[in-house]
Structure 1
Amino acid sequence: MSEKKFNSKENGWSDLVKKEDWWAVWIGLILVVAAVILWSLGSSIKFITAKIPKWTDIGVLFSALGNNIWSIVLLFVVFLILFSIANLFLHYRFKDFFIGFLLLFILSVIINSFSSWGWAQKYNLEAPLVALFIGLIISNLFSIPKWFETALRTELYVKVGIVLLGATLPFTLIVKAGPVAFLQATVIAVSTFLIIYFVGTKWLGLDKRFAATLGAGGSICGVSASIAVGSAIQTKKEHVSVAISLVVAWAVVMIFALSIFIKVTGISAGAAGAWIGTSEFADAAGVTAASSFGDKAITTFTLMKVVGRDMFIGIWCFILAIISITKWEDKETGVKANASDIWHRFPKFVIGFFVGSIFLTILLSSVSPAAAVTVNSNVIAPIKEIRTWAFTFCFLSIGLTTRFKQLTAVGWKPFAAFSTGAVINVILGYLVSVVILGSYWSSL
């Protein structure tokens, strides 16, 4: 048997402060706990969300930025402190990170300001998606300085965002969505993943980790799933970039294709929203398509996409990390993983995702209906705003570290695998949402 060992070594309790995954958990949960404590004291964490209101006139924007300047500064300081403490233990230089993060934050403020513009909101150009495009443009036109790269901590930002995502998706939402919605999301998400994975590995000969990353992006929640799963199974950076590019490209195509087909065939709003929720890869693109069919379509889309599918990100990271360690790497190294290897490599930010979700579930179930309303407005809503900032940092970092040459170097096979899954996903979504459960969604 080969003497080669897994490249991880159990370091005991020191891992709690030496691993990026754990710092994502600590940062995310610190923000969640702070939000709950402030709510219990009759206040709210809203004062650091730096929320930029919708605007249609540039004068209104400048006025809003002026009025929110201290909230913006406080948000920067809070993130800087939390990330800097993490970087201290992860051995990153504070000076380089500070300068780079300051520039990253300023770019994020500009992007969030753009996304708050009435025209941008009309087309649901959410900040993370805009950040991705802006980052791609900058990185492919200009050279990124080394000192800036220190602040482009893609995985740390997305992992913090995912922990915060868990705190905005209490398990009670699954109950509200109903067993039908959850079952439909499960069947289609699993089917789509397996199709992309099978086509990619069996027919096209793609690396298992690459195919799994493509499958996650096309079956769960698009860009976030591609990054999170790619990190959990340790796929190559360029493979994650390819998956993200395919998600974004197909998401844009689906906005127009689904909207036109629904209007031509006269599908009801409820069924239309559910179909969009099972077929769109990105929340922003899905909302864009669903919003043209009214509030009912947006409601059913939310149940299917945000609750039914986005919740899978933690579950898939857990499952695929175990498979990667015990099956794929076992064959590569000739060494069978033991329990400590599995625990050491397990994506710890998934723990933060579920802890945040369970914490908010317990809180909501233990208070009166009136208090639950204030929890939603003073805890969950602000956490969503902070989560958007974390995802903006992440997607901007992705764009700033991605070169189009890297994407074209992998050839046509990833596109073929992903597109096969996307097409079958749309067909399955139509059959289940419109043909089989059309009356259910229409009457919901």
Structure 2
Amino acid sequence: MNGHAQTTGMDRGLPKPAAEQHGWSELWKKEDYWAIWMGLGMVLLALLFFYGGSSFIKSLSVVPPSYTDFSAVSKHLAAKWGWYAGLYLFFVVLFTISSNIMGFNAREFIVGFTILFVLSLLILIVGSQKTVANLGFEPPLLALLLGLVVSNLFRLPKWLDTVFRTEYYVKTGIVLLGATLPFTLIIQAGPIAFLQATIIAVCTFVTIYLAATRLFGLEKPFGATLAAGGSICGVSASIALGGAVKAKKEHVSIAISMVVIWALVMIFVLPIVSKIIGLPAGVAGAWIGTSEFADAAGFAAAAAIGDEAAIRSFTLLKVVGRDIWVGLWSLIMAIIACTMWERGNSTDRRERVNAMEIWWRFPKFVIGFFLASVIITLVSLQFSAAEFNKVLTPAVIGPIKNLRTWTFVFTFLSIGFTTRFRELTSFGWKPLLAFAIGVAINVPLGYILSVLVFGHYWANI
């Protein structure tokens, strides 16, 4: 969708809603698979150096330390500048090669990524200042704010779009996140996460769809595409389901815009309200997981809570609970579209829904998330709890978290740099109102489930 008037920061590099070719080439041409190769590759590399007795990955995954006096961080940078240069080369080589294979211009990407990396480093330095961090301005949120200010005050060169690969960065970060969540925790939280996520997804989907089609008279495929964006996994769901029901290209773009608008609002509202009413971090993360509309924005909101428990519960609800439904929902809506909405057309009557649709639409990066979790879980079986915290965490888990932090900052800068408010207001009021009605149901229901019904569990996640 690059170059379209409604292109937004959360849809860079995503597949277009039109019919696509499927086959083995997806393994090296789709960013979902590249996110798996990148994320798992980093995890395996960390383990390889760990078992080889080397601290290379620990040294390479460098981030600015927390500080009150800037002299402390300046000494850190003076001592570690070589590792920062090495980390830049590590990222630029991997992301450039993979992006070039996926069809992006390598020269433009290298130049753009250099700018992105330098800005990310500056943001991490500012966000590591204790006063700034205590105010809730975590690096991802600072990255988003900087990007929004720049993109809405200045006109950026079009070629920079090559490096603003929002979904690619966040999917890679999610795979890395899997390595920090033991699989036993995912299994334990699975039933609760699935139940809560299913209630939210069904209620929100039905609300937005009925509001769009019955209340505002929008086309059924359009209403379904809007509903998918608000109930399942934001941009990816809008594109996947839009393709499944043959929604118009402009309708998919509008659905993406709705996701972006409300996702940006919730980045600020949910953490602030959670802190004001004193929600435990795990409970706040669960509420964010049920009430945010995009993975990238949700991670920013969860990170703003300032506790790893919020990120864990958010991931279990949003990534594990809601995102993996995109394939099944796309299949169901494809069947409905073919057998009911389009049955007046003789050609469509003869059309049969391919049983592989569920696999084609399934967000493959979620597989990488689970595999990373399984790998680290198997490795952790060799250690007692004390040994895990003393040995494996600083040598493997810590470096993976640092690499994850970098990918998330890349993500939020990309969102900010590609979100222009003037473009987001050019679609009329009906889609916005239909989506807003869904939000009015989603957020209170998410609070009830996260705080009143399952609060005891999420508080101890």
Fold shared, TM-score > 0.5 on shorter chain: yes
The corresponding residue for 2:111 is 99
The corresponding residue for 1:353 is 369
CA displacement 1:356-412 (0-9 Å, x = unmatched):
222223333454434433333322232222122112212212222221122112334
The corresponding residue for 2:392 is 375
Q: In 2, distance between residues paired with 1:270 and 1:17?
A: 38
Q: In 1, distance between residues paired with 2:231 and 2:139?
A: 24
Q: In 2, distance between residues paired with 1:342 and 1:274?
A: 29
- Please tell me whether the aligned partners of residues 136 and 400 of structure 1 are also in contact (alpha carbons under 8 angstroms): yes
The corresponding residue for 1:410 is 427
Q: 1:47 pairs with 52, 59, 80, which one?
A: 59
Q: 2:352 pairs with 333, 336, 340, which one?
A: 336
**Does 2:80 correspond to 1:68?**
yes
The corresponding residue for 2:314 is 305
Equivalences for residues 282-321 of structure 1 within 5 A:
282-286=298-302, 301=310, 304-312=313-321, 314-321=323-330
Q: 1:248 pairs with 264, 272, 279, which one?
A: 264
The corresponding residue for 2:223 is 207
Q: 1:229 pairs with 224, 237, 260, which one?
A: 237
The corresponding residue for 1:219 is none
Task: Give 1:407's aligned amino acid.
Answer: L
- Please tell me whether the aligned partners of residues 227 and 240 of structure 1 are also in contact (alpha carbons under 8 angstroms): yes
CA displacement 1:16-35 (0-9 Å, x = unmatched):
22333222221111111111
Aligned pairs, number? 419
Q: In 1, distance between residues paired with 2:213 and 2:80?
A: 51
Runs of at least 5 residues in structure 1 that lack an aligned partner in the other structure: 217-224, 292-297
Q: In 1, distance between residues paired with 2:213 and 2:154?
A: 36
Q: In 2, distance between residues paired with 1:271 and 1:347?
A: 25
In structure 2, do the counterparts of structure 1 residues 350 and 326 end up closer, same or farther at CA, with 3 Å as the change threshold? farther
Q: In 2, distance between residues paired with 1:346 and 1:188?
A: 19
Equivalences for residues 2-401 of structure 1 within 5 A:
7-10=19-22, 12-44=23-55, 45-174=57-186, 183-184=195-196, 187-188=199-200, 191-192=203-204, 194-196=206-208, 198-200=210-212, 202-204=214-216, 205=218, 206-216=222-232, 225-230=233-238, 232-233=240-241, 236-237=252-253, 239-260=255-276, 262=277, 281=292, 282-286=298-302, 301=310, 304-312=313-321, 314-323=323-332, 326-328=335-337, 334=348, 335-340=351-356, 342-373=358-389, 374-401=391-418
Q: In 1, distance between residues paired with 2:185 and 2:434?
A: 33
- Please tell me whether the aligned partners of residues 159 and 349 of structure 1 are also in contact (alpha carbons under 8 angstroms): yes
- Please tell me whether the aligned partners of residues 302 and 311 of structure 2 are also in contact (alpha carbons under 8 angstroms): no
- Please tell me whether the aligned partners of residues 273 and 299 of structure 1 are also in contact (alpha carbons under 8 angstroms): no
TM-aligned CA deviation for residue 53 of structure 1: 0.8
TM-aligned CA deviation for residue 54 of structure 1: 1.1
CA displacement 1:224-243 (0-9 Å, x = unmatched):
x4344345446835533431
In structure 2, do the counterparts of structure 1 residues 397 and 254 end up closer, same or farther at CA, with 3 Å as the change threshold? closer
In structure 2, do the counterparts of structure 1 residues 84 and 187 end up closer, same or farther at CA, with 3 Å as the change threshold? same
Task: Give 1:351's aligned amino acid.
Answer: I
Give me the TM-score of the superposition, normalised by structure 2. 0.77
- Please tell me whether the aligned partners of residues 204 and 230 of structure 2 are also in contact (alpha carbons under 8 angstroms): no
TM-aligned CA deviation for residue 208 of structure 1: 1.8
- Please tell me whether the aligned partners of residues 276 and 301 of structure 1 are also in contact (alpha carbons under 8 angstroms): no
SS, match of residue 13 in structure 1? coil
TM-aligned CA deviation for residue 83 of structure 1: 1.4
Q: In 1, distance between residues paired with 2:163 and 2:397?
A: 27
In structure 2, do the counterparts of structure 1 residues 130 and 412 end up closer, same or farther at CA, with 3 Å as the change threshold? farther
The corresponding residue for 2:12 is none
**What is the RMSD of the two structures over their aligned residues, measured on CA atoms?**
3.6
Q: In 2, distance between residues paired with 1:346 and 1:275?
A: 23
In structure 2, do the counterparts of structure 1 residues 190 and 378 end up closer, same or farther at CA, with 3 Å as the change threshold? farther
TM-aligned CA deviation for residue 161 of structure 1: 1.9
In structure 2, do the counterparts of structure 1 residues 123 and 185 end up closer, same or farther at CA, with 3 Å as the change threshold? farther
Q: In 2, distance between residues paired with 1:405 and 1:322?
A: 34
Give me the TM-score of the superposition, normalised by structure 1. 0.79
Task: Give 1:379's aligned amino acid.
Answer: V
238-247 or 176-185, larger mean C-alpha shift? 176-185
